[in-house]
């Protein structure tokens, strides 16, 4: 008797895995343009068009679209830039807003019908965004404190016994230079990866149980699974927006940390 | 009965690894709820801090699932 769930009892359900994140080229073999790339292009166009239309012909009493655009900008400006960096953070609000809108759009493509793939679950995209944020916060720090001063402020915070620096300095260096960008990229990638995997499991598993397994047990469990997938889709939407917020919040905090003077 | 269980042991490791961040995130939001209940006007300040702590604790679980799929 086999205790394995569905995969091994010979009835043909293969549970979704990392292979479901590999897309073949859209226009036949030999071309390089895949579905995630299409989503990136669409998301870039959508974000650009949205902010262009929202900011065009700005009036004192905003219309619906202008209000929406201003809400997004105001949320990032007041809720993230001002809260974490104070008034000196206003300079970086446009970058943070663009980043937020872009990541939200890419994430939400995971639950938009027909697209239904979060492009940020491919490592390259969050990694590239994390590298951009890394370059920005480090260059801001170097510009503010000078090259030596920046690393001194990072690795040797004042008011600590001299001996502790032996441990603290390497940890602080590794944390700022290596761990920050890596976790920034990992967090976004694998949140989207895991979320998409769970949705795939619920929907494909439910479909298999209802239409292929059949019987009272199959249809009952499959229906529960399919209904659960609806709830999970909304939960996924929440996580996708939250993760975009977290990415931008951490970028803002890193920039704020690079800007901060020694206490 | 000689049962066979198929699957990847990595996933059990990931399940164990998720306990720590799970407890940590629970503690963070418990503290956040406590703080807001005692001082509702501090909500905005606490929210940023709570989500920051949540993101940092969650990073451990995320690294876990990343490695669970990456390591063969």
CA distance A235 to A222: 19
For chain A, count helices (H), then strands (E).
Answer: 9, 0
Residue of B nearest to A249 (CA): B52
The domains of chain A are located at: 18-259
* Count of Cβ atoms closer than 10 Å to residue A24 Cβ: 10
Please write the tens of the pLDDT for every residue from A34-82. 889 999 999 999 999 999 998 887 777 888 888 999 999 999 999 899 9
Rg of chain B over all Cα atoms, to the nearest angstrom: 17
Task: Give the residue on B whose Cα is nearest the Cα of A19.
Answer: B69
**Model ipTM value:** 0.83
Separation of alpha carbons A250 and A244, rounded Å = 10
Write out the two tokens for A92: 């970086």
Distance CA A44, CA A54 (A): 15
- Residue A35 and residue A46 in contact, taking contact as beta carbons nearer than 8 Å: no
Contact, B10 vs A8, CB < 8 A?
no
pLDDT digits (tens, 9 = 90+) for A150-198: 888 888 888 888 888 899 999 999 999 999 999 999 999 999 999 999 9
- Tell me the pTM: 0.88
Rounded distance, CA A35 to CA A48, Å?
20
The pLDDT assigned to A159 comes to 84
C-alpha span between A55 and A50 (Å, rounded): 9
Contact A253 B52 (CB under 8 A): yes
A18 touches chain B (CB under 8 A): yes
Residues in chain A: 263
Residue contact B62–A191, C-beta within 8 A: yes
Cβ of residue A250 closer than 8 Å to a chain B Cβ: yes
């Amino acid at each position: 008797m086999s205790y394995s769930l569905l995969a091994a009892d010979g009835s043909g359900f293969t549970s979704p895995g990392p292979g479901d994140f590999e897309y073949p080229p859209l226009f036949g073999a030999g071309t390089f343009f895949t579905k995630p790339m299409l989503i990136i292009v669409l998301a870039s166009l959508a974000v650009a068009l949205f902010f262009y239309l929202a900011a065009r012909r700005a009036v004192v009493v905003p219309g619906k679209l202008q209000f929406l655009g201003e809400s997004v900008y105001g949320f990032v400006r007041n809720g993230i830039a001002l809260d974490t960096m104070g008034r000196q953070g206003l300079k970086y609000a446009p970058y943070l807003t663009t980043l937020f809108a872009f990541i939200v759009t890419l994430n939400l493509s995971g639950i938009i019908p027909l697209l239904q793939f979060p492009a940020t679950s491919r490592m390259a995209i969050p990694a590239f965004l994390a590298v951009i944020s890394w370059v920005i916060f480090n260059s801001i720090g170097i510009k503010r404190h000078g090259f030596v001063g920046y690393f001194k402020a990072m690795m040797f915070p004042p008011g600590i016994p001299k001996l502790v620096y032996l441990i603290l300095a390497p940890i602080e260096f590794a944390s700022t230079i290596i761990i920050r960008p890596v976790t920034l990229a990992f967090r976004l990638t694998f949140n989207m990866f895991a979320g998409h995997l769970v949705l795939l499991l619920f929907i494909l598993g439910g479909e298999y149980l209802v239409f292929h397994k059949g019987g009272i047990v199959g249809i009952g469990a499959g229906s529960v699974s399919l209904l659960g997938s609806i709830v999970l889709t909304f939960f996924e939407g929440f996580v996708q927006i939250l993760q975009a917020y977290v990415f931008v919040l951490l970028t803002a905090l890193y920039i704020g940390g690079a800007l901060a003077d020694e206490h | 009965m000689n049962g066979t269980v198929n699957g990847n042991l990595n996933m059990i490791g990931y399940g164990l690894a998720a306990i720590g961040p799970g407890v940590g995130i629970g503690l963070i939001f418990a503290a956040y709820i406590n703080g807001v209940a005692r001082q509702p006007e501090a909500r905005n300040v606490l929210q940023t801090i709570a989500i920051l702590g949540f993101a940092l604790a969650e990073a451990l679980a995320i690294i876990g699932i990343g490695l669970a799929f990456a390591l063969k």
